[in-house]
């Protein structure tokens, strides 16, 4: 679907914003961070493969209400953006050695992020205002001592309120204020669910999300495959603007993902608890506000959770945060033994003899099929599609490896596969439209302005020999073809480590990496 400005392979010039200096480290808050040092020489791989592409715009997704910015893009977790990403025209790469994730954009183009300030030698979790060009932190709100913020499920709404929970049971609502004197963050609400008696021993918060009525939805949980304690039950609830929390307890179920919210309905997927190999069932839920201190279960449906965590995987149950497709459907993947499935449900409770499940389609190959990364959901005017990536036998999450260039960087053993499936507006089957034989473990982002899906890959031929060269990679949304690859850097310092890709209003593509943030934009 793209007209190439260059033929199949082009060794185009890639410009860099700064010279990469070995040994660089993030500076203090307020200073411009240095670039990320490549921990291996990246020149073993070509700087540019493919050719520039003309945009092929797609219909912009309908907004979800409330309108929020988060790691998965919006309240429906679609991993799409209306911003126009790079086309591969005279690509310019850059980086900043500053730990920022996720990156959240407001309607004025201002950037807020989760930030770990290490300047004092002791890591401090913070919510930060960030200069989108230099990625310098210009203001921050530090988490209270002893609180570990859940940055994966950090949200900012249209009123510049930032919502974040802590593993220890607090929900914080923070107001960002921007004026001629700079940016400030003010704590406007702090709810301690342990002190309120909502959370008991062994229960940790995982989620907090806005809804359209001013409620704050939350769940307990943790990601079992990386050693977090998800507990032996899941509490789902919401905080009204005032008054007591409303909750429902789900015994013998573990929540390991984010939640989706549209209007006042929250979509939650649970799986078996840690160590439970006898239970092969998980459950998909839709919840709504209830009377008194209750939560209303709109519908629920069981799915196959298999007999354990897949090789290289994180989740005991579904590895996908629920993704909303317009106001019609909600999609997840299951964790069925041997071969997982895409599951698409109706958002509202099915009636008139209809099934809640629209389709259950096998993904990838038998014996080499897993998914622990959020889906991409696209609304094409009432005809929907979902993109799923395979991470069977993927390298394990690292965060702080003892050897930055260790074998954990090698994605060569990881089962390849990114698949796009159609979801017809009238229901029925969800056929596959294409399969791309690439390996992607980062959270991708689709630009509806360019029609490109942006992921992050490595050169597999070099990785087999222990040399890790990483690439920004663009796939054609319509065909799955790799349009171009642009070299980002070398070695484990440029490993994405499952972090999210994000598009900015000026067309810059941001990719979280172990060393900080890597960037790509078109040159002038």
Question: Cα 522 to chain center, whole Å?
Answer: 24
pLDDT at position 454 is: 98
Mean pLDDT calculated for residue range 62-82: 97
pLDDT band at 229 (very low <50, low <70, confident <90, very high): confident
Neighbours of 431 (CB within 10 A): 11
> What local confidence, expressed as pLDDT, does residue 29 receive?
57
Q: What is the C-alpha separation between 213 and 63, in angstroms, rounded?
A: 16
Are the C-beta atoms of 127 and 140 separated by less than 8 Å? yes
Does residue 6 lie within any of the structural domains? no
- Write down the pLDDT at residue 14: 53
The residue with tokens 């220890």 is 168
Q: Is residue 408 part of a domain?
A: yes
Domain hosting residue 333, numbered range: 15-522
List the one residue out of 244, 261, 247 whose CA is nearest residue 219: 247
Percent of the chain surpassing pLDDT 70:
94
Query: How confident is residue 119, by pLDDT bands cut at 50, 70 and 90?
Result: confident
**pTM score:** 0.94
Mean pLDDT of 47-56: 96
Whether 362 is covered by a domain: the verdict is yes
Q: State the Cα–Cα distance between residues 32 and 51, nearest whole angstrom.
A: 32
Sign of CA dihedral 396, 207, 303, 72: negative
| Neighbouring residues of 243: CB distance < 8 A, sequence distance ≥ 6 | none
Q: Would 9 be classed as within a structural domain?
A: no
Residue with tokens 């260059």: 6
196-213 burial code (b ≥16 CB/10 A, e <16) = eebbeeebbbbbbbbbee
Long-range contacts of 427-433 (CB under 8 A, 24+ apart): 427/354, 427/358, 427/359, 428/358, 428/359, 429/359, 429/361, 430/342, 430/344, 430/358, 430/359, 430/361, 430/386, 431/361, 432/361, 433/385, 433/480
Q: Quick check: is 480 in a domain?
A: yes
CA 383-387-393 angle, 5° bins:
160
The 3-state DSSP class for residue 494 equals helix
Q: What is the pLDDT of residue 275?
A: 85
Give, in degrees to the nearest 5, the angle at Cα 150 between 146 and 152: 155
463-513 pLDDT per residue, tens = 999 999 999 999 999 999 999 999 999 999 999 999 999 999 999 999 999
**Residue 2 domain-assigned (yes or no):** no
Residue 5 pLDDT exceeds 80: no
Angle 457-459-463 from CA coordinates, rounded to 5°: 110
pLDDT at 524: 85
The pLDDT of residue 362 = 96
pLDDT digits (tens, 9 = 90+) for 335-376: 999 999 999 999 999 988 788 999 999 999 999 999 999 999
pLDDT for 128 equals 98
How far apart, in whole angstroms, are the C-alpha atoms of residue 120 and residue 140? 15
Q: Two tokens at 70?
A: 């988060």
How confident is the model at residue 9, as a pLDDT?
30
Domain count, the chain: 1
When pLDDT is cut at 50, 70 and 90, the band that residue 426 belongs to is low
Specify the pLDDT at position 12: 41
> Is the pLDDT confidence value at 186 over 70?
yes
Nearest CA-CA partner of 272 in 232, 311, 321, 239: 232
pLDDT bin (cut points 50, 70, 90) of residue 211 is: very high
CATH code at position 239 = 2.130.10.10
233 in a domain, yes or no?
yes
Residue 3 is assigned to a structural domain of this protein: no
The pLDDT tens digits of the residues spanning 10-48 come to 334 454 343 333 333 444 557 899 999 999 999 999 999
**Is the pLDDT reported for residue 3 higher than 90?**
no
């Amino acid at each position: 679907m793209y007209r190439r400005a260059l033929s199949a392979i082009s060794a185009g010039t890639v410009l860099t914003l700064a010279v990469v200096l070995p040994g660089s480290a993030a500076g203090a808050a307020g200073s411009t961070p240095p670039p990320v040092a490549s921990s291996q020489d990246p020149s073993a791989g070509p700087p540019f493969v493919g050719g520039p592409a003309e945009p092929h715009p797609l219909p912009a997704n309908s907004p979800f209400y409330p309108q929020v910015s988060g790691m998965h893009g919006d309240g429906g977790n679609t991993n799409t953006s209306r911003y126009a990403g790079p086309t591969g025209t005279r690509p310019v790469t850059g980086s900043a050695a500053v730990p920022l994730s996720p990156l959240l954009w407001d309607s004025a183009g201002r950037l807020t992020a989760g930030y770990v300030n290490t300047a004092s030698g002791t890591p401090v979790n913070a919510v930060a205002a960030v200069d989108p060009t230099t990625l310098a932190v210009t203001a921050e709100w530090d988490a209270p001592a002893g609180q570990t913020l859940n940055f994966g499920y950090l949200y900012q709404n249209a009123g510049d309120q930032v919502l974040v929970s802590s593993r220890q049971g607090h929900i914080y609502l923070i107001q960002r204020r921007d004026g001629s004197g700079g940016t400030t963050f003010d704590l406007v609400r702090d709810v301690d669910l342990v002190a309120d008696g909502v959370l008991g021993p062994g229960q940790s918060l995982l989620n907090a999300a806005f809804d359209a009525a001013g409620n704050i939805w939350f769940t307990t949980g943790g990601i079992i495959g990386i050693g977090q304690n998800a507990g032996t039950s899941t509490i789902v609830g919401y905080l009204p603007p005032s008054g007591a929390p409303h909750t429902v307890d789900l015994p013998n179920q573990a929540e390991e993902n984010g939640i989706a919210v549209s209007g006042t309905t929250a979509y939650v997927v649970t799986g078996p608890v840690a160590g439970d190999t006898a239970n092969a069932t998980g459950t998909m839920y839709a919840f709504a506000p209830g009377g008194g201190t209750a939560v209303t279960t709109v519908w629920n449906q069981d799915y196959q959770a298999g007999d354990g965590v897949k090789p290289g995987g994180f989740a005991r149950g579904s590895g996908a945060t629920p993704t909303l497709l317009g106001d019609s459907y909600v999609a997840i993947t299951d964790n069925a033994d041997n071969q997982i499935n895409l599951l698409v449900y109706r958002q509202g409770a099915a009636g008139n003899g209809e099934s809640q499940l629209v389709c259950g389609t096998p993904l990838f190959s038998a014996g080499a099929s897993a998914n622990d990364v959020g889906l991409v959901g696209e609304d094409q005017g009432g005809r929907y599609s979902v993109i799923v990536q395979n991470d069977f036998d993927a390298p394990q999450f690292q965060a702080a490896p003892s050897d930055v260039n260790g074998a954990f960087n090698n994605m060569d053993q990881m089962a390849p596969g990114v698949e796009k499936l159609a979801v017809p507006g009238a229901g029925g089957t969800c056929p596959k439209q294409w399969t791309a034989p690439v390996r992607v473990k980062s959270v991708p982002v689709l630009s509806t302005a360019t029609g490109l899906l942006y992921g992050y890959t490595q050169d597999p031929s070099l990785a087999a020999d222990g040399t890790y060269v990483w690439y920004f990679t663009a796939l054609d949304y319509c065909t799955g073809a790799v349009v171009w690859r642009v070299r980002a850097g070398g070695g484990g310092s440029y490993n994405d480590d499952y972090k999210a890709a994000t598009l900015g209003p000026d067309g810059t593509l941001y990719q979280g990496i172990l060393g900080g943030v890597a960037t790509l934009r078109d040159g002038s």
